[in-house]
Each structure stands twice: as structure tokens, then as C-alpha cells.
Amino acid sequence: MRRAKQWRTVLALSAVAAGILTAAPAATAAVRPEAGAPDMVAALRANPGSHQVDATTIELEPGVRMSLPSAGRAAGGLHGCPDLNVCLYQNGNFGGAMLRFWRCQDIRLENYDLPDGRDWRDKTSSFVNNQTGNAVARLRDTKPDGTFHTLSSTAVQTVADLVNVRHPGGGNWNEKIDRLQVC
């Protein structure tokens, strides 16, 4: 009688131990990956081949980076535009997403996408030319027939709202830039 009772107790303890052992791996496997900012995840997905540089910036290709809207972005440079860069902003007053360039090259903005998946063509509302040595950036509005208008910017220049810049083809330069000769 006594022996049978002891046996039942051993079985019960074994069951508890087994429960602990099987529960332990489940607990360690439940570590959750740190979730990225939704805009960051979307920006990386919209630009295949890009990679994250810091909490608010991705590199699209060498010489081309995009910063996401963020309160901390304006901490450095000129409106967040680092030295030697040309920076295009989605919104007026240097707001929204920012696309920046620091190599002399001819850029087609259709090659880069905003976090929402739309490309950057005709999306710029303000810009900063933070290059040096009076470097000239040429911002262009091209037509399907190959003709284009050019807005030349000599460093250092900031334009807070392209609505205020007259376009030679009529109206203003807001949301018309589709190509850029950086320098």
C-alpha cells in the first residue's frame, strides 16, 4: 500500500518535470524580433536592392540615399541635408521623405520609389543644394518628346517651396522635377 502510493508520487513528479522541460524551449523560442518602422519596411520593399543605413535612412545605390519622414532627421546639415549633397523633399518646407545625392551623375527620379510605392518623378516640393564651390545642380522637367526645362541651382541654395518658383512652360516648379544633374 505504502509502496504503491510512493510510486504514484514519483509518476506525478515526473510529469511535472516533463512539463517544465517541454515548456522551456517554447519560452526561449518566443523572443519576438524587433519590429521595424512601417515606413522603413515599406521603403525597403519598394526599392529592391536597397539596404538600411540607420533608423531613418536607406541606401538605394552608391551616392543615393532616402531618409524617411522623422522628427530627428533635421538634426544635421542644412534642413537635414548633409554637406556636399543635393536633397529633394517630398513636401514643402523640407518635409516628408528626402532623397539625396552626393555623386555627380544624371539622375532619373523614376528609378526611385517613395515608401508608398509611387516613384519620385514629379513629387518634389522643396530642395536644398548643399554642395560647395558654387557647384551647379540642374533640376529638370522633361516631356515625352524629349524636350525639357531646366531649373539651375548654384550652391549653396535652399528653396522651401517650389510653388514660388516660376516655370518657363507655365505655372510653377512644384511637383515637376523628374531628372537631376547633380553637378
Between 40 and 86, name the residue whose CB sits nearer to Ca ion. 86
Residue 119 CB, nearest approach to Ca ion (Å): 12
Q: Which residues contact 14 (CB under 8 A, 6 or more apart)?
A: none
Cβ closer to Ca ion: 119 or 122? 122
Q: How far is the CB of 176 from Ca ion (least distance, A)?
A: 4
Q: How far is CA 58 from the centre of its chain?
A: 5
CB of 70 to Ca ion, least distance (A): 27
Region label for 94, one of left (φ > 0), alpha (ψ between -120 and 50) or beta (otherwise):
left
HSE-up (13 A, CA, CB side) for residue 6 = 3
Binding mask 28-67 for Ca ion (x = CB under 5 A): ----------------------------------------
Smallest distance, Ca ion to C-beta of residue 178, A: 4
Residue 176 is a binding residue for Ca ion (CB under 5 A): yes
Of the ranges 9-17, 86-94, 114-122, 166-174, which one interacts with Ca ion (CB under 5 A)? 114-122
Q: Is 165 exposed, middle or buried (0-12, 13-18, 19+ CB in 10 A)?
A: middle
State which amino acid sits at residue 32: R
Candidates 73-81, 94-102, 161-169, 174-182: pick the segment binding Ca ion (CB under 5 A).
Answer: 174-182
**What is the four-CA torsion angle of 129, 131, 134, 136, rounded to 10 degrees?**
-60
Site for Ca ion in 139-158 (CB under 5 A): 141
Q: Where are the alpha helices (DSSP H) in 95-160?
A: none
162 binds Ca ion (CB under 5 A): no
Please identify which residue in 39, 59, 119, 122 interacts with Ca ion, judged by CB under 5 A.
Answer: 122
Cis peptide before 16, with omega less than 30 degrees from 0?
no
Which stretches of the chain bind Ca ion, using CB under 5 A? Answer: 122, 141, 176, 178
